A and B are shown apart, each in its own frame.
Chain A
Amino acid sequence: MKPGQQALQYRGQYLPVTDILYFTSGAGIVPVVDQVRAVLPPGSSSVKGASVVWINKNEKDFDVAMTTLESEYSKYNTKLAVSCIIDDARMNELGTNKDINDAVPSFRPGTMAVISGPSDFCAKAKKYLTGRGYQEECICIL
């Protein structure tokens, strides 16, 4: 084993980053949980608000990190929004799900989107977010 690549990079023009959207599916929630823990504590970052949109095909897969996210939400309920959505992101188009459309906030300067999950999902999510007005430079794929 050895340390691998650093994938978290922001290439956008709007600094500082004040809002983060975590758009994830399946086991992609693993790095998201680590980042939520890191950026939400007061004084740790410039982030004022974070939204987590977690999509799974099976409701049981939310067991992976539901407890941790609930714990973080109870601590930072004014800064964190969590949406757990059951959908087959592998087969369906993301834009057709109303819950997803409602959970993803509109883009505004200072917002960064982080996509995490299977590579197919990441490609779909990037296309979806770009369609929602997110700039490519503000999207980071883990």
Chain B
Amino acid sequence: MKSLSQRAFITHNHVLHRQDFNSRIGTFQSPILLPMTTSRLNMHANVAVRLDTPLLSPESFQPTPVVLWRTILLLITSDAFKAASSAFIVAFTMTFVAKVLTRNSNRNYMISWSRKFSQSITYKMKTIQSILQQIPEKIIPTTGILQSIHSQLKNARDRISKNIDDWSNQSNRMSRSSQTGSGVPMKFNSSDPITQGWGVCTLLSKKKVGRSRYMQYEFSLPYANNTLPLSLGQQITLSCLEADEKVVRGDFYLFSPRNGQGRFSVLLPDISHIPDASKTTGNGGGKLDSQALATLEYELGKDSGDFVSIVVKRLLFLFKLSL
């Protein structure tokens, strides 16, 4: 019984629709009480059809902006459009979040991706614009409306591009500053009873400077972003323990840039060319050759020379052990 009533309702609705159509072309029937076949016969009898012209020619069918907007509105409010939009938003969000999470630290990647996105939008906008310009106004009289939509989208795209550029410039500034010296200055707290204002550095390497008789000794700081808080013309004091627990220290100027991060280097005389300079006692507690010591003392002064002699002596001792 229920299915019968549904069918009746559908039929009734269909007939009403046909009634509207017939009334628009100038006929009126009373379709509710008449069977469907009768209605169809009457309609065909009153419609004038010419075989040499289409039923809806461009001249006879000119949609008004209201009709076009109603069509667009119907399209937007349709379930298919909503489903497609929801799927696109979900997929876009998931992809974007995944890329951000996997490459969050790579700021340059984000910038390049944003630029590509902006460029693709620009390309698509230009394509749409060229297509619209090729369409004659008389075929689609609403080209002006579409172009206004296009101009609004173009303005939005320009704003997005400007924001991306600002973001890129800011990022580049931050990147440059992080590379060139806004690291974390090391703290030397002389009131600390444990460290007494001393920090720790580790000898990384030594290498000869060109053809000169000097060696560059490179030290690492505790953290890779540490910098030494030295002003112009200020020295760094290095200290170590001698074999008999005696403290030796020396003052040196940095050979590396003062704002370098994570490491620093000093320039010291190379005494390896001096004969017998490598003759140390077996436990590393011996003394360097007197000529080498004299060279160090002349170049660096007594205190700094003693410090370097200890360092060099230990390096030579470690070198022997490694052999």
Q: Which residues of A contact B (CB under 8 A)?
A: 1-8, 26-27, 30-31, 34-35, 38, 58, 60-64, 90, 118-120, 142
Q: Which residues of B contact A (CB under 8 A)?
A: 188, 197-201, 209-214, 219, 228-239, 251-255, 257-258, 267-269, 298-301
B212 A63 Cβ-Cβ under 8 A: yes
Cα distance A3–B253 in the bound complex, in angstroms: 10
A7 B298 Cβ-Cβ under 8 A: no
Which of A31, A60, A90, A120 is within 8 Å of B211, CB to CB? A60
A34 B258 Cβ-Cβ under 8 A: yes
B107 → chain A closest CB, angstroms: 29
B267 A64 Cβ-Cβ under 8 A: yes
Least CB separation from A45: chain B residue:
B232
A4 B188 Cβ-Cβ under 8 A: no
B237 A31 Cβ-Cβ under 8 A: no
Cα distance A3–B258 in the bound complex, in angstroms: 12
Known: A1-B238, A4-B234, A64-B209. A30 touches B299 (CB 8 A): no
List A contacts of B209 (CB < 8 A). Answer: 63-64
A27 B197 Cβ-Cβ under 8 A: no
B34 → chain A closest CB, angstroms: 98
A1 B233 Cβ-Cβ under 8 A: no
A16 → chain B closest CB, angstroms: 16
Which of A34, A62, A119, A120 is within 8 Å of B232, CB to CB? A34
B188 A2 Cβ-Cβ under 8 A: yes
A119 B212 Cβ-Cβ under 8 A: no
B237 A64 Cβ-Cβ under 8 A: no
B198 A2 Cβ-Cβ under 8 A: yes
Which of B197, B233, B298 is within 8 Å of A142, CB to CB? B233
List A contacts of B252 (CB < 8 A). Answer: 4
Which of B211, B232, B235, B268 is within 8 Å of A4, CB to CB? B235
Known: A30-B267, A31-B253, A63-B210. A7 touches B235 (CB 8 A): yes
Which of A3, A30, A34 is within 8 Å of B237, CB to CB? A3
List A contacts of B199 (CB < 8 A). Answer: 1-2
Cα distance A130–B230 in the bound complex, in angstroms: 30
Cα distance A38–B201 in the bound complex, in angstroms: 26
B298 A6 Cβ-Cβ under 8 A: no
Cα distance A142–B233 in the bound complex, in angstroms: 8
8 nearest A-B residue pairs (beta carbon): A8-B233, A63-B210, A4-B235, A60-B211, A4-B237, A31-B253, A61-B212, A4-B251
**A-B contacts, CB under 8 A, total:** 91
A60 B212 Cβ-Cβ under 8 A: yes
List A contacts of B228 (CB < 8 A). Answer: 3
Which of B197, B210, B253, B268 is within 8 Å of A34, CB to CB? B253
Cα distance A118–B255 in the bound complex, in angstroms: 16
Most buried by A among B199, B234, B257: B234
List A contacts of B231 (CB < 8 A). Answer: 6
List B contacts of A3 (CB < 8 A). Answer: 188, 228-230, 234-237
A139 → chain B closest CB, angstroms: 14
List B contacts of A35 (CB < 8 A). Answer: 232-233
A27 B201 Cβ-Cβ under 8 A: no
A90 B251 Cβ-Cβ under 8 A: no
Query: Can you offer 18 A-B residue contacts whose CB atoms are under 8 A?
Result: A1-B236, A3-B235, A3-B236, A4-B234, A4-B236, A5-B234, A7-B234, A8-B233, A27-B269, A27-B299, A34-B254, A58-B212, A60-B210, A60-B211, A62-B212, A63-B209, A64-B267, A118-B298
Known: A3-B188, A90-B298. A64 touches B214 (CB 8 A): yes
Which of A1, A58, A60 is within 8 Å of B239, CB to CB? A1
A2 B197 Cβ-Cβ under 8 A: yes
List A contacts of B229 (CB < 8 A). Answer: 3
A118 B233 Cβ-Cβ under 8 A: no
Cα distance A34–B229 in the bound complex, in angstroms: 15
A1 B267 Cβ-Cβ under 8 A: no
Cα distance A1–B30 in the bound complex, in angstroms: 106
- Taking A1-B239, A142-B253 as known contacts, 9 extra A-B pairs with beta carbons closer than 8 A to each other, sorted by chain A number, are A1-B198, A1-B199, A2-B237, A5-B235, A26-B299, A30-B255, A64-B214, A118-B301, A120-B298
Cα distance A120–B229 in the bound complex, in angstroms: 30
B299 A118 Cβ-Cβ under 8 A: yes
Least CB separation from A25: chain B residue:
B299
